[in-house]
Structure 1
């Protein structure tokens, strides 16, 4: 998805569903508002799948840039290995508008120009500085300058649940 393309918003439940959730299209949460709040969060929860099929969930820091969420991880960590093997993942977060669940496909960022752009975004948001050398990312403020990787998560489908517990929106990208 590029920054100008908007996902299709739809009610999660229809009038025929036996649910207490709103079926009024006026209650749809606009993706632009959800994405703006998502971008401002300091932390997200990232769920990945292990090779065995067991889930793995960890808090991560990330930057929202150009319609994708980028997280950083050491490539040898469980989440890093999971994302390198299978990029399907889920990011969850609580925003002022309610709760978000974003299903996405993560890709390992290897383009040096994009790495620079993302590293600058991490500095702007967190004052977290990465060293970039020979197409690799390092955390030079830590002993041994451990290697990191950027994983860019493109949303595929998302769900927004209002704080009232009675409204729900699904977005398809």
Structure 2
């Protein structure tokens, strides 16, 4: 599915930019943020505990269905948090861009989309997942533990250039 390109804009204006750039030519295109997400070997995922406290853990992101996706065990803290509240933040550091993506993580239930995510994990990390009647498993581990795939729908994102002086906000 093709998603509309988000609107990119300077994060800071003249009144609050010091020392950040206010030059509109420094706005990064979404394609750079997408490339950062696609190639990152890991990301930090921040979720919300049922009592409102934050929780952050590393995940291995993949790009599928035109969005970042990740896997977790349903009984893990992040899995339980997401079952209660899908709001999350993915943070990725790349050579040209540091990216903070705010969004909503949704469980991938459609078998075709599960296959796409599983294929992305195999291609990027050589991590094979087996799909059994709508559930996701790692058959290479004892007991074939169950996993869940999540797709993050971005709401807004912030990119900071490697120069430390440029910042872009994307609104979806």
What interval of TM-score do these two structures reach, taking the shorter chain for normalisation? over 0.9
Native 8 Å contact 2:103 2:155 kept in 1? yes
SS of structure 1 residue aligned to 2:15: coil
Matched, 1:85 2:84: yes
- Structure 2: which 5+ runs fail to align? none
Q: Which aligned segments of 4 or more residues in structure 1 are displaced greater than 4 angstroms?
A: none
Q: Which residue does the alignment assign to 1:129?
A: 128
TM-score (norm: length of structure 2):
0.96
CA deviation digits over 1:46-66, x for unaligned, max 9?
Answer: 000101111110000121123
CA distance in 1, matches of 2:136, 2:156: 29
Report the CA distance between 1:37 and its aligned residue: 2.4
Q: Which residue does the alignment assign to 1:148?
A: 147
Report the CA distance between 1:4 and its aligned residue: 4.8
Q: How does 1:1-173 map to 2 (within 5 A)?
A: 3-17=2-16, 19-173=18-172
CA distance in 1, matches of 2:103, 2:158: 12
SS of structure 1 residue aligned to 2:70: strand
CA distance in 2, matches of 1:62, 1:16: 36
Report the CA distance between 1:19 and its aligned residue: 2.4
Native 8 Å contact 2:37 2:61 kept in 1? no
What is the RMSD computed on CA atoms of the aligned residues? 1.2
CA distance in 1, matches of 2:65, 2:6: 14
Native 8 Å contact 2:64 2:116 kept in 1? no
CA distance in 1, matches of 2:3, 2:128: 29
TM-score (norm: length of structure 1):
0.95
CA distance in 2, matches of 1:162, 1:81: 34
Native 8 Å contact 1:89 1:103 kept in 2? yes
CA distance in 1, matches of 2:17, 2:134: 53
Alignment coverage as a number of residue pairs: 172
